[in-house]
Each structure stands twice: as C-alpha cells, then as structure tokens.
Structure 1
C-alpha cells in the first residue's frame, strides 16, 4: 500500500537516499541537498510546525510517500508556509520598458529583467522528488497533489498566494545557457555551486552580487533568451500537474536558470473548490472504478492520505476496506476529505 504522511526523524536515512538519487538526475533540485544535517533540519521544522512551535518564517511541511509493504520512503514533497520572511526571496520579473523618440520617429518596446522580491510572504510548493523506480501507478501525481488537499483542509495555515518555482533548462552536463550569459559574470562561480548555496539557504551573496538595474533581454545571447521561462524537460510533467490544479506562469523567472515561477490564488485551487467531506463506512465489499481519488483523514498532526479507486457515491458516504481505514487512522462515521486525482468534466 502507498501512503503519504508527514515526515518524521525515523525517515532521515531514506530521505537522504532520495537526495542522493535526485543528485544523479542533474542540477536543479536545490531544496533536497545531499546534506544529512540540512535534511534533518527540514524534518525538525515540520515537527515544530505541527506542534505550533515554529515562527511563521520557519513554518514548513515535509511529506513522504511510503511503500508500507517495504516500510520504505520512496518520495518527498513539501510546502513552505511563507517565503522571504527571514531572508530575501529573489526572482526576476519579466517586464517591458519602452524607449521612444518622436523626433527620430523611433518606438521600441524592450523586454527587461528586474530583480524582484514580489513573492515575499507567499506560500510555496517545493521539494518534489519521486524515486525513479516508483514513477508509475500515478505515484507522481499522488505525491504532488497531496499538498493541494492539505492546503484545502487547513487553509488558515497558508497565505492567499501560492507559488512554485520550476527548474529551468540546463543540459546533461549541468550547463545553463542563462547562467553563463548573466549570473556567471557577477558571481564568478559555476551554476552548480551557486544553485547549491542558494538551496541550502546561503542567499546573502545574491543580494551582494546581483545587478540592481534592469537587464535588457535583447543584450543576452540567443541561447540564453531562448530558455527564459522554459521548463526543464525532466520537470515538465510536474509543471503540467501543477497547472492542472490552477497554477500559471505570471511573468517571473528564477535568477539562476530562468525557470518559470507558477502561481495562483489559494482560494482558486481545484482542491479548495472541489474536495468534499464524506463519512466513512467500513466494509469488505468494495466496488471499484477507473477513477482514482485522494482520500485524507484531515487530522492535522497525524495527516495521512491514500490513493484509491473505490467508487465514490453522490451521497455523503465513502465505503473503505478495514485495511484502508486502518492506514488512514479512521473509524466508522469519521469524516475524510475526498478529491478526484484528475479533474472530472462532469464533477
């Protein structure tokens, strides 16, 4: 059985193994560094958040996907409650600057990149990684969309605006055309080093070294211009999942690789608008369907979610097996939150 729950310190070795596997896929997943101390701190932040002990700037939820048959963690995903409150959160705003002269009969609209902190205080989806051996059976969608269901259940814990930074283009050797054309000239370090330092929280150097004036896109090499707001091919499936839930590109890109930032109003998320609460009825006889559903127990500190294909009635009852009820820590007549994995046209 596959189940998503909050990360705990007993999961550290498995999460570290996942971080090592993530490193094998190339540069770009900065929020899952191959550093056990930092990963342990991510888990501590989750436990402190759940206990109500964390400052708003440190509140974070780290989820794990567990293969219960092997007692093995095979995926992670996370939500930062409010970015940029204890250190600057940077990106580039892609804007237009007009240069015109009536005397010369010249009018030129130029794309520019402005260093921005506009997303300060937003909630952020991050740290999505699934063991390559488990990239099947809807596990990727399950692990990603759990975060939306959690937000739907506990909206008061999150901000009105939600963002997600998508990995930008770099080749198999870690070469980033955008970084080489821009960032390298100010930082004098390779893309992998800058990306790693940013990912582990050492972002002061960004403020110290990045240009404060707008960057004219037309002055960049063609290969750099071509990748602005482009999603890395390996990240494209994850981006499409987020867009199916309501997030869209709104003109902001990463300062290192120019990957797009997706964003949405939390209230407009599909999970917020379409998830519903049903009453549990436990039975051995379950009718199944081709449609998969996320089913969560809505217990804040003991949050658990299953992906099931049980038939969901139009009424207010959900039939679950004893094993499913046990996994969700629910009993007869308890309520669970249910959402179709994919958007249903006639929902």
Structure 2
C-alpha cells in the first residue's frame, strides 16, 4: 500500500538516494547529507513546536509498505523569506509614449521582487520514475493540501509553488545563459547548487535592482519564460487542477513559473470534510476515488481509496485503517481525489 507519512531520522539515506535522482534545477533537496540531516531536524522541531515561524516547515515521504521502501518526498514551508530574502522576477510592463512622435509601446519587463515574503510554499516534490503511475503523483502532491486543510492555522493565507524551469541534463538553461550569467559569471549548475545549499546572499549582491527588458533577450530565452521542465508538467497540472494559477512571477535562475492561490480557495481545503470511520471486513468498494487522511498533527497519514462514503461515515478495510493509524469510530478527513473538471491523464 502507498502511504504518506511524516519524515523521520531513519529516512535520511532514502532521501539521499532520492536527491541523487532529481537532476539539475531541483534546489530544495540538495544531494548533501549534512543539508538533508539539517532539513530533517528542522521539520521535526516544527512538529515539536520549538521552531520560530521563519524556520518552520514540513516534510513527508511516500512509502510503499509492501516493499518497505521510500519512493517519494514532498514538503511545505510555512513562511518564505522571513529569515532571508525570497527573490523572484515579476513579469510586468513599462510603457514608452510620445504624442509628438505618435509612438506608444508596451515593453515586457522583469522586476526583482520579494512579493511572496511570508507566504507558505508547496515544495520538494519528487517521485521515483518507476512509481509515476497508479495516481501516486496525485497522492504525493495533494496530501500536502489535505494536511493544510486539517491544520489551516499553521499556514499563511496564501500558498505558492515554484515550478522547475527549462534546463537540460547537462545543466544548460536558456534563460540563465542569456540573463543570469551576465551578472553572476558562473554556470547554472553552480548557481543551482549554491541556492540548494542555502547560500543565497550572492543574489542580492549581484542581481540588478532596475527592471530588465525582456525584448533584449534572445528568442530561445524568451520562449522558456514561465515554462516548466518536461518532468514537471504533470506536477503543474495537478496544482492547477486544485486551483493554483500562474500570476506573473518566475524564478530568477531558470524562469520557471510560480503558481499561487489563497489557501482557503484550494479545492481540497475548501471541500474536504470529516467522516467517521467504519471498519468493514466485507466491504464493496465505491466507484469514486478519495484522498483520505487522519486528523493527527504529529502522526499524519494519507492514502487513496475507492471507498463507500455516506453523509457522516466512510467505510474502510482493516488494512487501510492500519495504514491511517485509526480505529473504528475515529474521524478522518476525506475529499474526492479529482475535481469534476480534472483531466485524469
């Protein structure tokens, strides 16, 4: 069975293996044992209530219980940019006009921005390629929103997700080569590694504060603005199906889009409901798949199941009850896995 659960210290080596497979451009899970250990300790401190808001974050793993292995990871940061600045580009417009010359032009521009400071972030989403099937990606991504739905008071009013931008296996990023390299004089791979290791002061030191004209970039660089890496297309579709939208902000390195939404407007937050567990040995599955999570803050669990749901109850199997760490009569949080409009490919 595929189960979402909080990370624990024993997961460090499994996370190292996942980090080694993510590729260039995936900065939130660096292939660095010390950084992964620090991340685990930080999120455990969050669950224990000993972290300041600026340091709070959560990390979950997807476990294949039948094989006893970790196959995916996902995370939430509570409030971005409070301990160190959070940078992105806002895609805007500057108008140049002259009545005398009868000239009026609108120029797309990039403004260095800290507009998302204090927002919560969905981050660190990675699933082993062999497990990118059977709705595992939906469980991995959407379980974070189910956790937010259960504990909304722990998160900001707005949530964002930075999408990985376009780059190839060799670390070539069209946007970086035509913009970032001029100011930083380092390879995209190196800049990517530095940000993943938390060394971000060079951004403020070297990035220009004045607007940059998009038309001065090459066509190759302009084409990838707000586009995602091919491996990230499914993740973007999932988030957009839940109500997140691109609102004109991109990553300053690879130009990947930032998706955002008000937390209360996320479909899972808005539509999820509590149901009382009925454990049934002879249960006929329903024809609709549900995302199901327990209501435990420190021992959160989430699964997918095609269950029979009534107005106040949900019928689950003993195996599912064990996976969720719930007993007969306890409450679980339930929401349909897909929105009505969702393309389920």
Fold conserved (TM > 0.5)?
yes
For residues 42-92 of structure 1, what are the alpha-carbon distances to aligned partners after superposition, in whole Å with 9 as ceiling and x for unaligned?
A: 111111001100110110000000011222111000000000001110000
SS in structure 1 of the partner of residue 20 of structure 2: helix
5+ long unaligned stretches in structure 2: none
Residue of structure 2 equivalent to 1:106: 103
- After superposition, where does 1:98-247 map in structure 2 within 5 Å? 98-247=95-244
1:48 to 26, 45, 48: 45
Residue of structure 2 equivalent to 1:338: 334
How far apart, CA to CA, are the structure 2 residues paired with 1:46 and 1:286?
37
- After superposition, where does 1:252-271 map in structure 2 within 5 Å? 252-271=249-268
Compute the TM-score of the two structures, normalised by the length of structure 1. Answer: 0.97
Residue of structure 1 equivalent to 2:56: 59
> Deviating runs (4+, > 6 A) in structure 1?
none
How far apart, CA to CA, are the structure 1 residues paired with 2:26 and 2:336?
28
> How far has the Cα of 1:150 moved from its partner?
0.5
Aligned residues: 342
Compute the TM-score of the two structures, normalised by the length of structure 2. Answer: 0.97
How far apart, CA to CA, are the structure 2 residues paired with 1:97 and 1:34?
41
Residue of structure 1 equivalent to 2:71: 74
**2:36 is aligned with 1:39:** yes
How far apart, CA to CA, are the structure 2 residues paired with 1:326 and 1:228?
46
SS in structure 2 of the partner of residue 162 of structure 1: strand
Residue of structure 1 equivalent to 2:318: 322
> How far has the Cα of 1:344 moved from its partner?
3.2
For residues 103-141 of structure 1, what are the alpha-carbon distances to aligned partners after superposition, in whole Å with 9 as ceiling and x for unaligned?
A: 111111100000000000000000000011111111011
> How far has the Cα of 1:289 moved from its partner?
3.0
SS in structure 1 of the partner of residue 125 of structure 2: strand
**2:21 is aligned with 1:21:** yes
How far apart, CA to CA, are the structure 2 residues paired with 1:56 and 1:173?
37
> How far has the Cα of 1:167 moved from its partner?
0.9
Please report the RMSD computed on the Cα atoms of aligned residues, expressed in angstroms: 1.2
How far apart, CA to CA, are the structure 1 residues paired with 2:62 and 2:25?
21
SS in structure 2 of the partner of residue 175 of structure 1: coil
SS in structure 2 of the partner of residue 235 of structure 1: helix
How far apart, CA to CA, are the structure 1 residues paired with 2:162 and 2:35?
20
Would the alpha carbon gap of residues 149 and 122 (structure 1) be closer, same or farther in structure 2, given more than 3 Å must change? Answer: same
SS in structure 2 of the partner of residue 74 of structure 1: strand
